[in-house]
Structure formats: structure tokens, C-alpha cells
A and B are shown apart, each in its own frame.
Chain A
Amino acid sequence: MKTQYRNTAFRLSALAGAIALASASAWAADGDEVADLVKPESSIRLGIGHLSDRNRRFGQYNGLSEGRAYGLFDIDYARREDASGTWYRLYGRNLGLESRELRADVERQGVWGAFVDYSRILRLEPLQVTTGLSGIGTATQAIGGTAPREIDLQTRRDRYSLGFDKALGQGLDLQLRFKQEDKDGARIFGRGTGQFLAEPIAGQTQQLEAIINYAGKQLQLSGGYYGSFYKNRNSVLIATPGTAISLAPDNESHQLFLAGGYNVTPATRATFKVAKARGTQNESFFTSPDLAGNVQTSLNGRLDTTSAQLGLTTRPIPKLSLSANLRYEDREDKTPRYQFLTPSTGRDGFNTPFSRTTVNSKLEANYQLPMGFRLIGGVELEQRKRSVLSIRQASWREQNDEQSYRVELRRSLSETLNGSISLIHADRGGSDYLPANNNAAADFIDPIHFADRKRDKARFSMDWIPLEQLSVQLRVDDSRDRYAGRPRGPDTGTARLYALDGTYTVSDNWQVSAWFTRDDTRVRQSTLTGANGTTVLAQEWQSNLRMLGDSAGLSVRGKPSGRLEIGADLQFGRETNHYGLLANLPAAAALPTIVTRRTVLRVFGQYAVQRNFGLRLDLISDRARTNDWTWSDWQYADGTRVFQDPNTRVTFIGVTAIYRMR
């Protein structure tokens, strides 16, 4: 239900649109209506809101986390000089909040354009930490360095973008894009279960893209350069007492690419893309390698990627269309192999580059049957080859092959009933397993992304309009995985989805809609546990993981009068995580089922005071409950505790004035 995903900081354009609607009816006889309908409009929203309580889950990304008042300010300015086709746009959202964003555009349409954009993404950690760790937010931290106190962790991304477009004539145009993101803050980290740490986040990413496009009637091309660069101000976390932890290294990648499409005939089109990329990582080590004689000061990492794609779509006869697609990707890790560490049992001390080559081919046919039906059939083959290391931490497979077959019956041209039913069968196998040779005696598991697997999926969807006022959507998905191979590890998996949506138009001025979705995902897997003294015996054990999600929504929109519009959205979600352990365990060890519930009610009323001025009232009530035991009664050896509030309730109320102009 779309309105339920709206931000707590409300959307200006929707409000302005609604006011425009109210204006059109309330003042239909006033002014120059044609100009009102054809000229770009602008709007400003200004108001105040108040959050009842501190709630970092509610405000995790929207900046509304403390129990206080907030300024609400949005702007959407658009002006066009009709004679030259020049646009001036200024767009600001959440300008009164920390999650603010602002964009300015100037464009002479069809000739050139430029923009500058700023956006902040805030992520508040909802968990409350009480710790004596000092130096949080820096790369030098001391465990027990200060008296325990409550801290809030968060990260913040500040993103700046620049863009320039220029039409070069003859179907050519140039696009330049630059984006920089500075990410700062701290997040939960650690060194074993004894020491709580906070990972210092102080990174910068930059992306530069220069593209030249050509668009002709038959041929279209798009080629250019894409570069991406990561810099971390911290290469290591020194947390005393204890050993240092390396942090993410600087790295960069450069790609050249060319994509194109060619209309061979009006019924046949060919497409392609070729790309070549080189990634490097030369961050200086924070210390010299362990192994005597290794004088490497950095990894000298290098990853070369070559990719290509060819596609062909054609309609040889009016009722039949065919498409074929071939994709190739070779990721070759050319990082030189050096011995960095002193070898020990099961570890040779060398770095671990991984390379792989993937080839995917796909063929699909689509045939039109009578009465608006279409029959679709397709086959897809994928082969993935991986490089092999002499020392392996888990079972390894040098090659996987997967074949998928799909058949679908679809109806899509009826005015009242459309839908489809499709069946997919996929079979994945591959080469013989190479053992986890540092743990050969316990090599019992085929890794889930390598394992032989048969997958069967069925999907049914329907759009039905049984009455002029009523529309219904139904969707059912069923997917089953069966893993073959050794008896331990993943065994079976299922995923089901049921979704029912309906909307009833009571009258021109009132609409009601409701939806319900259930998703049910299960995995059965097994392994062997070691002994824990006499409390837990060494044994084979099985888990039956299940995530059951029920979500429902109800929405109402009404226009009791020409000036007043009201609405309400109620959304409820309940997620249940079962663990289903089949094991010989003392009762005190059992993992309770985790149930999380969330109910959100949003209500609004909007009154058009004048043709171009309106008032709006918004109310949001958010309640969340959980019995998640992840952090319950947990304490790090250094005394740090992490708390999750199991029951939160918060209310937000906002009053805004909206002014519309042209």
C-alpha cells in the first residue's frame, strides 16, 4: 500500500498536488485556468512537528529521534523560460531535519544542463550501549579507559553530486557525473566476546563517470569511463590492551565500457556491451609482514575484469517473438601471491586471491494464443569456474553448472482479468568437491552456494476488476530447494509468498484499500557440535529455521468537501523467527522463538484555505514490540552491556502550511 511507505517528513509535491486538486474544484471559475494547468508550478512547505519521546528505531534514518520539536521545511521550485526552454529548479526536502537534501538544476532543454546535489543519510544505532571504552569515533581506543556511560552510535553519509550534460549534435550527447560521499561515525565492533569496540568510520568514496551517447534511428551507442575510489582515513584500529585490527584498505577501480543497440529490422534488435575494468589496492600495511624476509609494504592487489554481453530479440512472425542473450564475465585476481605469515597447521601464510569466470546464456520464446493468452518458454544455462587455492578453509568447487527451464501462460489484454502462471525448474551441479584440506577430517559440508541443488518455483498472479469500483490483485509464489550431496549442511529450503490487495472506490470522493501479505521462508540444515563438558554432548544436530511474516494494511482517503481532504493508513507487521533445533540440549539452552510486531497509524487532514494556500495536519503513531534475545542478559568481559528496548511507542504530530505558486 503505497501511502504507508511515506516518510515521516511529509512529501511536498503530493501535498501541493492535492492542494492543486482542491483548488481546481473550489475555485474552478477563477483566474487563468489554462495557464494554471500548463505552466510548471512551485511550492513551499513550512511547519513544525513534535515527537513525543526519544526513539532511535523510529528515527533511525529520518532524523526524528529525540522527544522534541522539529522544523519542517521543503521547497520545490520550478520555473521554465518558455521561449528558450530553460529550466531553473531548486528542490529541498527535510531541510529542517538532519536527513536533509538539496538539489539545484539549470537546464536549457535539449542543449545543455547542469546540477549540484547534496544529501545526508543518517543511520542511528537503535541499540543503547553502556561501556567504559574510550576513544570512540577514533582509531585509538582504550578498553576501560573511562567510567562506564551510555553512548549513542551512529553513522552519517554526506553525499555531494555534480553533473553536466551537453548535446553535441548529430545524435551525440555528453554526460559527466561526479559523486563524493563522506562517511563518518562509529558502529558496533568487537574483539572476541571479551572486548567491545566501536569501529571508527572515516571513509570517503568518489565516483566519476564520463559518457558519450549516440542515439540514431537504427543505432544507439553509449561508451565511456567509470572510476571509483575509496579512501579510509584509518587503516588500523589500535585498541589497548590487545592486538591491532586492520581496517578496510584504500582501493580504486577504473572501467572503460561500450554498449550499443542496433535495429536490424523493425522486428529485430541486437544489443551488446563490452567492458574492461582494473581494480587496485595498494594501501600501506600498518606493520611489516610476519614472515622474515617478506619486505612487502602493501598487497599490490590487482583485479582485472573483462565482461561482454550480446543480445538479440526478434519477431519472425507477428505472433512469435524470440530473444537470446549471452553474458560473459572474467574476474581475474592478478594480485601476486606472497607468503606473509609464518605457516602453521592448515595455514600456509599466503594471501588468497580468488578468480572466476561466468558464462550465462538464455533463450526465450513468446507465442501469442487466441483470447489474449501468451505462452512463454525459456531455457537458461550458467557455468561458473573458480580458481583453486592449495589451502582451503571449506569445501571447494572449481565449477558449477546450472540449467533453468521456464514455462509461463499469461493473459494481459483483457479489460477486467489479467494474470499469469509460471513454472521454473533449475538444476545446479558441478565438478567434484575439493576437500577443506586444513580440516579434512571434518569435511562434511557442501557450501550452500556451491552445493548441488534442484529448485522448483511456481508463480501465480492475477489482476481482476470484478466491478467497476473494485479491483483485486492476487499473487502466490512457491519455491522449493533440495540440496543433494553429503548429509550435513543445507538440506531443503522453501519460500512462499501470498499477497492479496484490493481497492474499493466508494464514490468519486472516497476510496478504501486493504492488503495482506504472508511470506514464509524455511531452511533445514544440520551439522555436528562439539562437546561442552558434560552439559552439551558432542552430537549431530539439525535446525529448522523458519521466518514467518504477516503484514497487513488498510487505507482510506476521502474528500468530505471541496476544500477538505482526509486520509488514514494503518499498517501492521508481525515477523516470527523459529529455530526448530533438533538436538539433545538442556532446557536452559533452548532458543526462544523471536516475535517482532510493529503497528503504524498515519492520519492526515488537509484544508485548502485559499486557491494557493493550504494547511495540513499529520499524525503518526508507531508502536514496536519484540522479544529478541540477541542482547538480553549479555555482557562483554570488559563489562559493556548493550540494551534493546523491547517495547517502544512514539507519536509524531506535524502542522504545516503549504504555499503554491506558478
Chain B
Amino acid sequence: MKNMLCNLTRALSAAVLALGLIGPAQAADKAATKDLALKGDAVCTRCHDESEAYPVLAIGKTRHGTVADGRTPTCTSCHGDSKSHVENLKKEGQSGRPKPDRTFTGQLLTAPSADVVERYFGLAGKRTTTPVAERNGACIGCHQGGKRIHWQGSAHDASEVACTSCHQVHTQHDKVRDKLTQSEVCFTCHKEQRVQVSRMSRHPIKEGKVACTDCHNPHGTAGVKLLVRDTVVDTCYTCHMEKRGPFVFNHQPVTEDCSNCHNPHGTTNPNLLKARAPFLCQQCHEPTSHRGNIPGLLPGTGNAAGTRGVTQARSCLNCHTNIHGSNNPVNNAESRSLRR
């Protein structure tokens, strides 16, 4: 019933406005109603109510809607006082109600969505001309500490990525904060990684077992490539600590940067290797002994040139099993060569 009355009121108001029978200020002067989702939201929710196409009230389901937490915002905390919008103060020649002081847009989604929030903010949704810095300023005003300390000057900040390019504020389930769907948001821009995570050798990203944010802090870090532990090796060690050593015999590229040999997003070679052995190994190792031997499919399981032994199964790693390092204090020929 309430909904019907509201719709009827709005329809009548629109009709009256269209006929020019009353001024815009009068049309906006609806009776004040109680707050619906946030503290002091009545000025907005008297119009933006449950009949909105975009579920604006769903912010009540989120942490922002926890009014008992004195830090939580109201609509105007993010969108600005928006006096011209509230009172419909048009500039000369302007058609339609002025927009709020700050408007936000979602990411440029490139897939159809079952989610009404994405439908509204996605491809066919609204865009905004509010500068990114101003949009982000609304968020940073409260969210500048902790893991966001290094936002300013970070790769995403420098690329003018808005917080709302990734985050959905008016919904209980923010896709980018769900490990299963997070990568879909990241792939909106990171197209190369979109195909790499579907390759035969990959991390379980599609299954939501590894998320982009397990390795990267998109809000900025003190280190390289927005990595959570500031260096490549330290980030990889959070899950692959067995590679850390130090060993009796270390493999230098391993100690320096895992991505010398691996592409963590996915490859067509086993174990996320950037190239198949022996080609990968031959990018560093000089052709003494068998090291420069040409791979081939001739019979033979030794390390002779042109044979299966240097080519198939695990190739160089057939013998050099402990390629990340050996802690073996015996057997010179074997341990120094990372075989035992």
C-alpha cells in the first residue's frame, strides 16, 4: 500500500512538473520522512526509496549501514550536500534535475549480469563526470589507514582507478571482496591475466581458492607490483615457504625472483614455467657437457643430444630434482648440481 501511494505521489508530481503548474523547488519540497537505512538519510530516501530501479537502500545491509557504529556515513558524506539536486536548482538552460555533487560509476563491465547493481552501473548504466580524485577523496577521508596507507601514488591511483571501479558500495555482497568473484572484477582491465588463469598450468583462481589479493594489495604497497609482501620472493614464500632456504646449495635466480622462471598467472608449461625445459634452462646455462643439448624425440633416456631424455617427462628436472635448492651436505657431483 505504501509503495502504491509513493508511486502514485511520484507519478502525480512528475505530471504536475511536466505541465509546469508548480515550480521545481515546490516539487522537491516533499514532506520529510524518517531515515530508512543510514543516519540522516531522509533527505535522500524521501525520493530514493524502495521503488528505485537501483537498490539504493541496500547500503543498509552493509557495514556502512551499521548505524550503531558512530563512524558510519550518511548519503551526503559521500555524495556531498548536493543542494542543487535536492532542491532541483537548475542552471539556466539545464534540463532535468541537477546531479548530486559527487556521483559514482561502477566498472565498465563487459559481461551480462544477473545482479541489478551491475546492470545499473555497468555498460548501460550511468557514467559520471565527477573527477576520480574527488570520488576517491570521499572514500579516503575515512579509509586511509592500514593497508591503504600507500594508495596515493600507487599504480591504481596513478592510473585514475576509482574505488568504485572495483567496489560496490550499495550491496551486501561486494564482488571484489569475494574470493570466487574477485578475479572477474580485476579482469575487467587485466585481460592478459584473464586468459592465463584458464591455462592448463595455473593457480586455483577460477575456483576461488586463490584470489588476486592473496598476492597483490591493489590499494598500494611499499614494494613492487603491488605485492603484499613487497618483493616477489617474499610474497611467494607465504604459501611456498619450502623454497625459502637458505640451502647449502642455492640456485641464484630462485633467491632473486621467482618470476625469472615462473609466471604465477598461468602458462601452457608444467609448474607455471614460462618456457619448457630445456629451453628455459638454456637461457642462462652455458653449453658445457649436456647443457646445450638440443631436445628431440630420438630414442634414449640419457642426456644425449636429440633424445627423449633431455626433452620428455621433466626434461632437465628429471635429474636436477632439487632445482630450488639442495640442503644435502654430501655427494659433490649430485648435491652441487641440485640433483640430490
Which residues in chain A, 614-645, are within 8 Å of chain B measured between CB atoms? Answer: 626, 629-637, 642
Which residues in chain B, 290-309, are within 8 Å of chain A measured between CB atoms? Answer: 290-298, 300-302, 304-309
A531 contact set on B, CB distance < 8 A? 305
Cβ-defined contact, A246 with B322, below 8 A: yes
B300 contact set on A, CB distance < 8 A? 532
Cβ-defined contact, A630 with B312, below 8 A: yes
A294 contact set on B, CB distance < 8 A? 329
Q: Which one of A84, A354, A489 has the highest number of Cβ atoms from chain B below 10 Å of its Cβ?
A: A354
Cβ-defined contact, B195 with A191, below 8 A: no
Interface digits, A412-456 against B, CB 8 Å rule (1 contact, 0 not)?
Answer: 110110000000000000000000100101111101110000000
Residue of B nearest to A307 (CB): B230
B66 contact set on A, CB distance < 8 A? 80, 82, 85, 87, 109-110
| A351 CA to B308 CA, complexed, in Å | 33
Which stretch (A133-141, A321-329, A649-657) binds chain B?
A321-329
Cβ-defined contact, A445 with B287, below 8 A: yes
A93 contact set on B, CB distance < 8 A? 180, 208
**Given A121-B204, A532-B304: A5 touches B184 (CB 8 Å cut-off):** yes
A41 contact set on B, CB distance < 8 A? 61, 172
**Given A439-B286, A535-B306, A577-B268: A342 touches B296 (CB 8 Å cut-off):** no
Cβ-defined contact, B108 with A473, below 8 A: yes
Cβ-defined contact, B297 with A588, below 8 A: yes
Which stretch (A48-56, A65-73, A146-154, A282-290) binds chain B?
A282-290
Cβ-defined contact, B279 with A543, below 8 A: yes
Cβ-defined contact, B209 with A303, below 8 A: no
A419 CB to nearest B CB, Å: 11
Cβ-defined contact, A285 with B286, below 8 A: no
| A321 CA to B303 CA, complexed, in Å | 58
> Number of A interface residues, CB 8 Å?
223
Cβ-defined contact, B149 with A271, below 8 A: yes
Which stretch (B78-86, B90-98, B332-340) binds chain A?
B332-340
A503 contact set on B, CB distance < 8 A? 109-112, 122-123
A275 contact set on B, CB distance < 8 A? 230
Cβ-defined contact, A243 with B331, below 8 A: yes
A191 contact set on B, CB distance < 8 A? 319, 321, 339
Residue of A nearest to B269 (CB): A577
Cβ-defined contact, B200 with A110, below 8 A: no
Q: Which of B153, B317, B334 contacts A243 (CB 8 A)?
A: B334
| A586 CA to B307 CA, complexed, in Å | 11
Cβ-defined contact, A445 with B286, below 8 A: yes
A83 at the interface (CB under 8 A from B): yes
Residue of A nearest to B259 (CB): A449
B46 at the interface (CB under 8 A from A): no
B290 contact set on A, CB distance < 8 A? 530
Cβ-defined contact, A447 with B298, below 8 A: no
B195 contact set on A, CB distance < 8 A? 517, 519, 549, 551, 573
| A632 CA to B312 CA, complexed, in Å | 8
Cβ-defined contact, A109 with B69, below 8 A: yes
Cβ-defined contact, A220 with B123, below 8 A: no
Interface residues on chain B, size class = 35 or more
Cβ-defined contact, B246 with A449, below 8 A: no
**Given A33-B50, A37-B58, A354-B252: A193 touches B309 (CB 8 Å cut-off):** yes
**Given A447-B284, A555-B111: A109 touches B63 (CB 8 Å cut-off):** yes
| A533 CA to B153 CA, complexed, in Å | 60
B158 contact set on A, CB distance < 8 A? 323, 364, 366, 376
Cβ-defined contact, A215 with B145, below 8 A: yes
Interface digits, A500-532 against B, CB 8 Å rule (1 contact, 0 not)?
Answer: 011101000001110101010001010111111
A47 at the interface (CB under 8 A from B): no
Cβ-defined contact, A449 with B260, below 8 A: yes
| A247 CA to B150 CA, complexed, in Å | 39
Cβ-defined contact, B61 with A38, below 8 A: yes
Cβ-defined contact, B286 with A585, below 8 A: no
| A413 CA to B119 CA, complexed, in Å | 21
| A556 CA to B114 CA, complexed, in Å | 10
Cβ-defined contact, A571 with B198, below 8 A: yes
B167 at the interface (CB under 8 A from A): no
Residue of B nearest to A541 (CB): B294
A543 contact set on B, CB distance < 8 A? 279
A381 at the interface (CB under 8 A from B): no
A557 at the interface (CB under 8 A from B): yes
Which A-B residue pairs are the 3 nearest by beta carbons? A38-B60, A215-B145, A85-B68
Add 18 more A-B contacts to A41-B61, A588-B298 (CB < 8 A).
Answer: A2-B110, A33-B3, A38-B37, A40-B172, A193-B302, A214-B145, A228-B238, A230-B242, A247-B327, A444-B286, A448-B284, A471-B124, A499-B191, A503-B111, A505-B123, A536-B305, A557-B114, A630-B312
Can you name 27 A-B residue pairings with CB atoms under 8 Å?
A2-B109, A5-B206, A7-B180, A18-B115, A29-B4, A34-B49, A36-B50, A39-B61, A62-B207, A194-B301, A215-B146, A299-B246, A303-B246, A311-B222, A323-B153, A349-B336, A412-B160, A439-B289, A447-B253, A505-B124, A523-B279, A529-B305, A547-B268, A565-B114, A588-B296, A588-B298, A636-B301
